[in-house]
Structure 1
Amino acid sequence: MDSPVRLYWLDPRNPTQAFPEPRLAMDEPNGLLAIGGDLSIQRLIRAYSQGIFPWYNPDEPILWWSPDPRVVFPLDERPAARTLRREARRSDYAVTLDQAFDEVIAQCAAPRANQRGTWLGQDMQRAYRAMHTEGYAHSVEVWRAGRLIGGLYGLALGRAFFGESMFSQQSGGSKLAVYWLREQLKAWRFDIFDCQVGSEHLQRLGAVEWPRDQFINRVHLAAARGHRRGPWQFEVAVPCSPMHQPSP
């Protein structure tokens, strides 16, 4: 007889409460581990350092996930796809770090075509803005003619970066954000660039699957390494033509 499925409850009054082990997450839906709690900085750091993240709709209680497998961008020496490398060498755009976090997260929260509403509600936006203020959350911005055309945001703990969401206003906007962030994380000798769950778009950008146990083991080591607090700036050579930079 199968064992009953248990969904763990987190007390919103106790941000230091321990999370259950990720291996206890449900198989269906894949990775659902716990419910409740809050989005305090303390709890978010505890969650991400264990390979757990919040993901829920604005009209739902907070849901915490650790899916198996986990999807990541490799940070080894394998090159990006040839078409993406060719697109990245163009000179008709600029890319920045931590220059427009609020605008990036607002664009990520905007409803997409053929979607009703967004999962990135006001509570989530406030939580990640607070993480940004404390130097943990970061954004990548892609500009063309001074206009923000794409980007992404996520959290960094130690030598692990946890991508949260991306957007494109023009073709290639999010691809270029991923490409240049990956190049910078490699230069900083990061160990993990997490994408959480897979999609065809991420696969085309080179994302691969890791078994959850492998991911969790790597996260424990990476998150414990020296943390690079924000704001960040690119240290690799990126397109930065003044013609395409954001307007002052």
Structure 2
Amino acid sequence: MAAIDPDLLLRAYAIGVFPMSDGREAKDVYWVEPRRRAILPLDGFHLSRSLKKTIRSDRFTVTRDTAFAEVIRACAERDETWINPAIEQSYTTLHALGQAHSIETWFDGELVGGLYGVRLGPAFFGESMFSRATDASKVALAWLVARLIAGGYRLLDCQFMTDHLKSLGAIEVTQQRYLEMLTAELEAAGSFDSPPVSSVRRGGVEEADFGKLDRLLEDAAGASGAAGAPGCVIAQLLTQTS
């Protein structure tokens, strides 16, 4: 199957559906609309003491959008996956258009964890994550949440609930409630009727800014001592809202 048209893919997200396949070698792609949806409230991320310590230590180097293709491939390289070549190509195209992003965690120059997802207005739709080292995916998710908080995002969709996500603060809502939340946020930001426009100002709503965290980290780098360390900035953003 050919890759999904980017505009069609974004419009699908705007109405609460997303594509999946039955396996890595599957030829077909189908649209999914879960009856119950997992979301992670940005003010409810569960930052445990141990995870906070790991983040503040800067044991992992964390980047964004430096290895998107590698991240999505790593997410697909497991015994059971819904990411076939058509889906992989579709999101790689969205990434090239600036509508899909990856967060990468590195250790000693090796990619050990990460996640990727789609942004539309003030919403971010997490697609998949992987980990090859203890806490690597948790750190990636923590950095994503901090980035969304800093950038004024309002909704983090996690699709399906897992024990891993639940331990980090994710909750389940009905599909109807999810659509109410999603529609309200996209309409307020002027993004519901005209994807792939990512954000505009309307009715006093400030546009979401995926790159704002980068500027905060640059500004903090000039501070003396631990306060300027990236992990400390991330931990502070998460602590202020939890």
Coarse TM-score class (shorter-chain normalised) = 0.7 to 0.9
* Residues 32-56 of structure 1: per-residue CA shift (max 9 Å, x gap): xxxxx96111110110011111111
Instruction: Pick the aligned partner of 1:202 from 165, 171, 189.
Output: 165
TM-score by length of structure 2 reads 0.75
Shift, 1:121, TM fit? 1.0
* Residues 175-209 of structure 1: per-residue CA shift (max 9 Å, x gap): 00000100110111211111100111111122111
Q: 2:222 maps to what in 1?
A: none
8 Å CA contact retained: 2:151, 2:210: no
% of aligned pairs identical? 35
User: C-alpha separation between the residues in 2 aligned to 1:87 and 1:55?
Assistant: 33
User: C-alpha separation between the residues in 2 aligned to 1:173 and 1:78?
Assistant: 16
Q: Which is richer in helix?
A: 2
* Residues 66-122 of structure 1: per-residue CA shift (max 9 Å, x gap): 1122101111266523332222112222111111111111111112xxx2x532111
| Distance change (3 Å), C-alpha of 1:59 and 1:126 | same
Instruction: Pick the aligned partner of 1:47 from 12, 17, 21.
Output: 12
Q: Secondary structure at the match of 1:213?
A: helix
8 Å CA contact retained: 1:40, 1:127: yes
Shift, 1:167, TM fit? 0.4
TM-score by length of structure 1 reads 0.74
Q: Secondary structure at the match of 1:92?
A: coil
Question: Which runs of 5 or more structure 2 residues have no equivalent in the other structure?
Answer: 190-197, 200-207, 218-229, 233-242
Q: 1:154 maps to what in 2?
A: 117
Which range is displaced more, 213-222 or 70-79? Answer: 70-79
Question: Which runs of 5 or more structure 1 residues have no equivalent in the other structure?
Answer: 1-11, 13-36, 241-248
Q: 2:182 maps to what in 1?
A: 219
Pairwise CA RMSD: 2.4
Q: Does 1:56 align with 2:56?
A: no
Q: 1:234 maps to what in 2?
A: 214
User: C-alpha separation between the residues in 2 aligned to 1:62 and 1:125?
Assistant: 11
User: What amino acid maps onto 2:70 in structure 1?
Assistant: E
Q: 2:107 maps to what in 1?
A: 144
Which range is displaced more, 149-158 or 187-196? Answer: 187-196
